Amino acid sequence: MSSSEAAQQDPLLLLRQSIASDSPCIPSTSADPGSASSVDLSLAKATHLHFTAPIQTSLPLTTPTRFTSSDKPVDLRSIYFAWLKRETAIHEYNGSAQALSAELAAEGGAGGEVQNLAFVERLDLITWLEGASEESEYIKPLASDTSSAAASAQVASGAAGSIAPVTITAVGRHGKTIDPRLAEIYNGERRMGDRNSVLRGIKPTDFSHVRKLAAPFNARKAAQAAAANQANNPTLAHNPKAPVRRPDPIILLSPSASSLLRMSNIKSFLEGGTYVPPDSSNSTSTSSASILHISRILPSIDPTRPMRFIIVDTPEQFKPEYWSRVVGVFTTGQVWQFKSYKWQQPTELFRHTLGIYLGWRGDQPPDSVKGWGRGVLSTQVEKWSAGAAAASRWRDREVVEGIWKAIEDNMRTKGWRRDSGPMNV
């Protein structure tokens, strides 16, 4: 199988391309879902996943993929299940994964189990499948280098693609009789080679020893460059282990039912500049979504590249280092919201990140919010009226711009830069 054919049969690429083309993936009980009896929409009984685009093919759901978790490949069933549950809350996803594993192991099930992906792994996978990211630290590259090396070895040994002289007889190239002396000249010609055949030899040359010899020089050069950057950038002096890739900042919402901003309407508010109630039909996402992404250019940090924000309503799956990336916490003034936070006391929390309270215009903020001081931005929107025209919400954008300005100022103070994240907190 050629490298291109191997790429076409790669489960992750097939699933990503199917999602991009909005083509259905059909769980099936056989490799040929031609008959209606073989099609089974239950992942507990299905044994294959049939792709309709970009090619018609079926792969076993037990096929290992290039996505790894704990250094082990994750099977296609677990990957497809995570995609189906992409907008499901974390605890609901965990419960659904356990239920499906039980159905697989039960009588009539296909066997095996679903691998439960961690929060950051599932976020990274969904981002890659949606096409929002072209790289993932959990996805190994396609193994096409081996076939390329084998082809080069054949070329170098003369088995294939080598440069050989052109043999021309007196009959000529097109069946015409030519002068024997001209034929002798033609016999001195050589075929043009490609980039694999121009370097001829009896075997492929291994240059790995050169990499080992160059390693000390490269390390010394990298250390000198890092020292120079640290001297020129005071941020790196406080954070010498800052990652090269800028992390995505995180915004936390309140899970309270009384909050004016929930997962269902936060995207239309922060991106579209218009407030709609959480249960409105105009909401931009479902109330069960556990992860959202929005993009925004922050001119004082990076005026040329939009910054992607991650929005969640619970820190349940947070790693300790995630807290340095939290740039805003929306609150209703209820202290129980912070019981699972790194900083559970509001006064301490809002010394490390920005607090945001949104209420109705004309209403007084809760006394608790007032007591938390300048670390909490208190702002208001016009009260919602179902019969009012959309044009009446013109003040919403002004409120949204004020919130983004406060987030941007806070991020800049915490050390966010164009190519780096915050200073350690």
Q: Which residues contact 173 (CB under 8 A, 6 or more apart)?
A: none
Mean pLDDT score across all residues of the chain? 81
C-alpha distances out from residue 89 to 54, 244, 312, 425, Å:
31, 31, 10, 28
pLDDT at 327: 95
Tokens standing for residue 413: 């103070």
Buried (b) or exposed (e) across 309-329, using 16+ Cβ within 10 A? bbbbbbbebbeeebbbbbbbb
Domains observed in the chain: 3-129 (no CATH), 144-215 (no CATH), 250-413 (3.40.50.11990)
DSSP string, 52-65: -SSS-EEEETT-EE
pLDDT at 182: 76
The Cα–Cα gap between 59 and 81 comes to: 15
Residue 185 backbone phi and psi in degrees, to 5: -65, -45
Tokens standing for residue 332: 């209703």
pLDDT at 162: 45
Residue 418 backbone phi and psi in degrees, to 5: -60, -40
The Cα–Cα gap between 41 and 37 comes to: 11
Spatial contact of 100 and 43, defined as CB atoms under 8 Å apart: yes
Q: Which residues contact 82 (CB under 8 A, 6 or more apart)?
A: 93, 117, 122, 125, 126
Highest mean pLDDT among 151-155, 156-160, 216-220, 306-310: 306-310
pLDDT tens digits, 187-238: 777 666 665 555 555 555 666 667 777 777 777 787 777 777 666 665 544 5
Q: Which residues contact 165 (CB under 8 A, 6 or more apart)?
A: 187, 188, 189, 190, 191
pLDDT at 388: 73
Mean pLDDT of 99-114: 90
The Cα–Cα gap between 246 and 421 comes to: 5
Q: Confidence class of residue 99 from pLDDT cuts 50, 70 and 90?
A: very high
What's the pTM value of the predicted model, to 2 decimals?
A: 0.48
